[in-house]
Each structure stands twice: as C-alpha cells, then as structure tokens.
Amino acid sequence: MSLIDSFLAPDIAADSYAPSQDAVACQISADGLIAAEVFSRSDGTLGFRFVAWVAWRDAGGNARSHAWEAIHPNHGLVTDRIEVAQEEATRYAAARGMALQHTWDRLGARAD
C-alpha cells in the first residue's frame, strides 16, 4: 500500500519542499517525493500528515501540472508530545512502504 496511487505519481523531479507553516517537525522520504510533518493545532495539540509531490492529470492520464499536496491520514492522533507524533508518523509511513530518512528536523518554537 502506498500513500498515493499511480494516477498521482509524478513525471518530473520535485520542486524544493518547504514545510507547512504549522509544522513543528518534518522528515523527507528517501526519494524526496514525500515529507512527513508533525503539525501543531490551534489548541496546542499535535498531529501528523504527509505532503507529497503529485501530478495532476487530465481524463486521458496526461500530467498537466505538479504540486506539493497535503495528505491527512485517517488516523486521528491527538497528543501533546512531539516524540509520540513522530513515532506514529514513522510507523504509518513504514506500514505503507515509505522509506523516510532516519532523522526528524525540528522547526520553530515547539521544537524543543
């Protein structure tokens, strides 16, 4: 199982990834096409999502554009510990065959 299906698979190399504004930690996949993000909600709790480089295709399957697209797993994680969110995101990615890098980059004020 993968995060995106073959219809969304990109045809070109990814543009530079920039973490979302509410991201407090991120980790890029080995191929550079997916980023796992731990994000902070307005109430201070944390969750995780993925941002994938995808192709937007027409009905004939021709790629018309590419963009970074947020994908929110149907997971429902709510935690106040960044380590828990990172572990759950890593576990979720591994279960879907995504090879993430081994370290998380901490971002912003919530990163400590």
Distance CA 46, CA 54 (A): 25
Judged against a pLDDT cut of 60, whether residue 109 lies above it is answered with no
Each residue of 47-99: pLDDT tens digit? 999 999 999 899 998 889 999 999 888 777 899 999 999 999 999 999 888 88
Distance CA 47, CA 110 (A): 13
DSSP reduced 3-state for 60: coil
Sort 90 into a burial class: Cβ within 10 Å, 0-12 / 13-18 / 19+. middle
Alpha helices in the chain (DSSP H): 82-95
In the chain, what's the furthest Cα-to-Cα distance?
Answer: 48
Judged against a pLDDT cut of 90, whether residue 25 lies above it is answered with yes
